[in-house]
Chains A and B, each alone.
Chain A
Amino acid sequence: MKTRQNKIMGLEEAVNKYVRNGSHISIGGFTINRNPMAAVYEIIRQRIKNLHLYAHSNGQGVDELIGAGCVKKIEIAYGGNGKFAATCICFRKAVQKGVIEIEDYSNYQMTLRFLAGSMGIPFLPVRSSLGTDIVKKWGFSRESRLKDPKLPDEKLITMNNPFGDWLNTAKVVLVPAINTDVTIIHVQKADKQGTGRIQGLSFADTEQAKSAKHLILTCEELIDTEEIRTSPDQNQIPFINVDAVVHVPHGAYPTACYKYYDYDPVYLNDYAGWAGNENLYKKYLEKYIYNIKTHEDLINLIGEKRLKAIKANSSTGYATDLIRS
C-alpha cells in the first residue's frame, strides 16, 4: 500500500522484492551525477539478469549494469560518461559484440516517453528526429515487438499535424509511453513515508519516478516527516508513488550527489581502465561488488582520505579544487 506511513526497508530487501529477472527498469541520475549506485551494485550482487533498461543518459549506473551482465535489452539516448568516457566502455563492447539489444532515441524523446507514462497517455508528440535514422532504423524488429506484449508495436510514428498547419508545423513524431516495473532514484532527502527532495538538477527523475509501477527511493539523509513538510515546495517526489525508502549515505557514490559529495575521479578513471580489460574487470567485480556485503562496506573500502577529497563544499555543493585529471 503506497499510502502507508513507514516504507523504510534495507537495500537488499527492497531490490529483492521489486527487481526481478526480466524486469523493465529505469534508474535516476545523469552520467556522473546522482545515479542510484548502491542499488545498482545490489542488483549486480543479487545476480539479477535479463533486465530491460530504459535510459536517457544515465552513464555510470547503466554501464555497470551492462558490464556485470544484468541487461538484455536497452532503450537509450546517450551511452557516455562526460569526460570520463566519451562512450561508456562496457556499453560500447556489449553493443559491438551483440550481447545486448539496443534501440536508439534522443534525450528529449526518452524524457517525453517517461512523461507520457507518468501521465497515463500512450504517446506524446515531438518535433525532433524527422528525417534521421532514429526514425528509419529500428533496433528491435517489428516482429520481435509484435511478440512482446510489454513493448509497443512501433518504435515511433511520424504523422502529419492533425491540426493542419497550426503553429506552422507540418509533421510530428509520436513517441510511445514507458511504464517501468520498477524505477530506482537516489535523492538527497526523504522521510520514512517516501516524500522525496532532490537538490540541484532533477534531470528526468520526477518523470521516471511517476512512470513506475514500483518506485524505490534511496536517500542520502532520512529526515522526519514533520521536517520535510516544513518546506513542501522543495519536495518533488510524492510519497503516493513510492514503495520503498532506503537510507543509504553515499548511495550515489562513485557518482556525485550535489551538496553532499562530488564524483570520485579516482574511481571513475580506474573503472575506465578496468572496463577495457576483461581480466581486470572480473577482478573489479569481485573486489568492489561481489565480495562486498553492503554499500557501507564499499565506502569503508574506499577510505576516509578519498571521501574527504570529494566532500562537497557547503557553499558550492561540489568539492572545490578537487584533482580531476
Chain B
Amino acid sequence: MKYTSREMMTIVAARQIRNGDIVFCGTGISMLAAMAAKNINAPESVIFFETGAIDAQLDEIPMAVADSRVMFGASLNGGLLDAFATMQNRITGKKVIGILGAAQIDRFGNINSTVIGDYFNPDVRFSGSGGACDVASFVPRSIIFMQHEKRKFVNKLDYLTSPGHLDGADGRKNAGLAPGGPEVIITDMAVMRFHDTTKQMYLHGYYPGVKKEKILENMEFEVDVSMAEEVRPPSLEELKILREKCDPQRLILGKI
C-alpha cells in the first residue's frame, strides 16, 4: 500500500512512544504522532499540552495547542503554570517525552526556531521558543521532526533556541541542565540518533528507497552512517488507524 512521507514520519514517531509515556505535543504532526501512538502501540500513553490540558480526548484534530478541541474530554484543564511545572517536576517530568520541530538543527541536537540570519537584524523571523526551550531543558527524552535539507542541518545555528546536548558529552551537565536531551530525529528521509558517549548525531535508519549518500548530501555536517538500517514502512494496520481514526479529514496529513 502506498503511503506519503508525512504518514511515514508520523508512524515512525509514534513507534518511539512507549506505554506509560506522558507525551508533550505541539501543533500539527507532533499531536498526530501522539494520537497514532495512543491508538496503535501505547494505549496508556497520555497526551499532554503546554496549555494545561491533560489526556485530551481529541475527537477532532486541534489546529493549535489552545484549540477548544484539547479541552473537551480532558481529565482536567489547567494552565501553563501547571503544565510546565509537570515537566520540571522530578517525579512526573521523568515520564515526559517531548515532540519538537525546528528551522535548524546542529550535530548535537540543539535547535533553532527563532531567526535565520543575525538575531538583531534577521533575514527571517520565526515564532520563537514558545514552550520548546522549556521542554528541551526539562525532559529526559525528546523526538525532533525535521525536513531533511542542507540549510536545516547546519554546522552552526543562527540562534540556539532550545538545548539539545549543547557542545557534546557533558554539555548539559556543565550548563546545569537536567540530564537527557533529544533521543531521535525524524526527517522525511531518515531517522537519526545520538551516540551514547559523544552525543553526536548518527544515521540510525533510512527510509525504503533513500540512499545514504542522498541523506548526507542534504546535511552541512557529516554523520556516521555505518550502523544504519532500512526503516520499516508503515504497516496496513498502522496506516488504517492513522487515516481512519486519527486524521480522517487529513488536516495534518495533507493530500495523498
Contacts and interface: CB of A to CB of B under 8 A. Distances in A.
Contacts of B71: 200-201, 258, 317
A81 B65 CA distance: 10
A318 B69 contact: yes
A253 interface: no
Contact of A128 (B60, B123, B137): B137
A134 B52 CA distance: 23
Nearest to B59: A316
Interface stretch (B124-132, B141-149, B205-213): B124-132
Contact of A95 (B53, B125, B129): B125
What is the size category of the interface that chain A forms with chain B? 35 or more
B88 A203 contact: no
What is the size category of the interface that chain B forms with chain A? 35 or more
A131 B66 contact: no
A202 B80 CA distance: 8
B63 interface: yes
Contacts of B60: 318, 320-321
A202 B84 CA distance: 14
Contacts of B175: 130-131, 171
Contact of B125 (A87, A167, A321): A87
Interface in B55-73: 59-60, 62-72
Specify which of A91, A128, A158 lies most central, judged by the most chain B CB atoms within 10 Å of its CB: A128
Q: Is the interface of B mostly helix, strand, loop or mixed?
A: loop
Contacts of A106: 129-134
A206 B79 CA distance: 9
A324 B122 CA distance: 32
B125 A96 contact: yes
B66 A201 contact: yes
A33 interface: yes
B129 A105 contact: yes
Interface of B: 27-28, 50-53, 59-60, 62-72, 77-81, 84, 88, 90, 114, 119-134, 137-138, 159-163, 166, 171-172, 175-178, 249, 251-252
Interface of A: 29-34, 56-57, 59, 76-84, 86-88, 91-92, 95-96, 98, 104-109, 111-112, 115, 126-134, 136-137, 139, 158, 167, 169-172, 200-207, 256, 258-259, 262-263, 265, 312, 316-318, 320-321, 324-325
